[in-house]
Structure 1
């Protein structure tokens, strides 16, 4: 089931579950020790989207207001849910929420096909973030 909440609307339990999944995927599985707590999760302008099944969060992402564009970030799926289309479901909900606004993201290179399905195009050169190849991607805004 899809859940949506701004930072202040998150319950402590929901925030814990989102952070646990992000740490499990990014820090433990991908071996990227980085400061997961960046001060942006609880902002009123941050929107969290997540899918929960049987009490467990299986995937999540967040939308950050960055002036003229929305940044899609912290996109992750539990290992047990990969290959099920859950990432596409989350991205479809994110793109619907973003609407006509321009949006950007930093994609792990192997995942750029997922984002391309939603209108994101790579720009610039591949770069390393925490030892993992990434590429910036942009989805242009449209006039209402």
Structure 2
């Protein structure tokens, strides 16, 4: 797996299309959740692209403090369904956390995590903070890494 980090303006049209297709495939179709994925925040974020054989199969976006949460943030964490068994989600989170530290010189990270992924994020040092809430009809929790 090869990872590349790009700003929105550095993304090619093909990369942007593939990112949006992957996010729609997982967050809309697979999770049966109709929501507005294009939230205007892609312009502010850095994009972590995971390539396997020249295809984007993993993706996340990272934010500097204040652009999403008070702390730096990681969101839209996604791995193509047929590729999940290979541990690429673990790699994606490791690369994303390191990118926050390198690009923004930040250690504190806040995420809005889908509840069923709590243990996955705990394995990366995140701690559940606050109460469960619904985001786009899916149970979420705030998690912080300090």
> TM-score normalized by structure 1?
0.89
1:36 aligns with 2:37: yes
Between the aligned partners of 1:127 and 1:60, the Cα distance in structure 2 is 24
State the partner residue of 1:110: 116
Contact 2:64–2:100 under 8 Å retained in 1: no
Match among 133, 139, 145 for residue 133 of structure 1: 139
TM-score after normalising by structure 2: 0.88
Say yes or no: does 1:27 pair with 2:9: no
Aligned length: 138
Q: Distance in 2 between matches of 1:109 and 1:83?
A: 20
d(CA) in 2 for partners of 1:79, 1:98: 25
1:87 is aligned to 89
5+ residue gaps, structure 2, are none
Q: Which residue of 2 aligns with 1:51?
A: 50
**8 A Cα contact 2:62 2:72, kept in partner:** yes
Unaligned runs of 5+ in 1: none
Greater per-residue helix proportion: 2
Question: Which stretches of structure 1, 4 residues or longer, exceed 6 Å deviation after superposition?
Answer: none
Partner deviation per Cα, 1:80-108 (whole Å, 9 max, x = no partner): 11121101101101111122431110111
